[in-house]
């Protein structure tokens, strides 16, 4: 269908395609299709290339995760909270709904970490 678009619209077209290998791993590819024309503008053939962008997508995913997830605790950070809060406020306005936000502050958490260790503190936060 996309290939037909290249031919009918006489334009180049790029899009991503995921393939599932037999072993279950996903391969992300970028497919590019460009028509080659003669002097009268008629399409002679289409040049197609398929580029493996799996490592790029994996790196991109890690970058997004590192933006929103605390590397010590594995929990979402304040950036993620603000991002989700903006999304929920927009949704609530669109649907004319109300929302509530509850935040907890753990007093003297640093002294807990100092006394029992960061691993214990991380477990406390997660549970």
DSSP codes, 45-85: EEEEEEEE-HHHHHHHHHHHHHHHB-TTT-SB-HHHHHHHH
Q: What is residue 103's predicted lDDT score, i.e. its pLDDT?
A: 83
Q: Cα(125)–Cα(74) distance, rounded to whole angstroms?
A: 10
**Which residue range is the domain that position 38 belongs to?**
2-59
21 inside domain: yes
Q: What is residue 6's predicted lDDT score, i.e. its pLDDT?
A: 67
Contact 40, 12 (CB under 8 A): no
Number of domains in the chain: 2
Average pLDDT over residues 78-103: 94
Helix/strand/coil for 9: helix
First vs last Cα of the chain: how many Å apart? 50
CATH number of 52's domain? 2.10.70.100
25 inside domain: yes
2 pLDDT more than 80: no
Whether residues 10 and 47 fall in one domain:
yes
Residue 92: pLDDT band with limits 50, 70, 90: very high
Contact 36, 46 (CB under 8 A): yes
DSSP state of 20: E
Q: What is residue 80's predicted lDDT score, i.e. its pLDDT?
A: 94
Q: Pick the more confident residue, 13 or 52.
A: 52
Q: Pick the more confident residue, 104 or 98.
A: 98
Average pLDDT over residues 30-45: 88
64 inside domain: no
Q: Cα(34)–Cα(47) distance, rounded to whole angstroms?
A: 5
Q: Cα(63)–Cα(65) distance, rounded to whole angstroms?
A: 5
Query: What value does the mean pLDDT of the chain take?
Result: 88
DSSP state of 127: -
Task: Tell me the per-residue pLDDT of 40-68, one tens digit each, with 9 for 90 and over.
Answer: 988 888 898 999 999 999 999 999 889 99
């Amino acid at each position: 269908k996309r290939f037909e678009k290249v031919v009918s619209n006489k334009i180049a077209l790029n899009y991503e395609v995921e393939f599932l290998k037999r072993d279950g791993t996903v391969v992300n590819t970028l497919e590019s299709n460009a028509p080659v024309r003669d002097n009268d503008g008629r399409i002679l053939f289409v040049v197609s290339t398929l580029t493996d962008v799996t490592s790029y997508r994996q790196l991109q995913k890690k970058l997004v995760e590192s933006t929103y997830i605390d590397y010590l605790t594995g929990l979402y950070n304040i950036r993620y909270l603000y991002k989700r809060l903006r999304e929920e406020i927009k949704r609530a306005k669109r649907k004319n709904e109300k929302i509530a936000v509850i935040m907890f502050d753990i007093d003297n958490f640093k002294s807990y970490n100092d006394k029992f260790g960061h691993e214990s503190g991380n477990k406390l936060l997660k549970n």
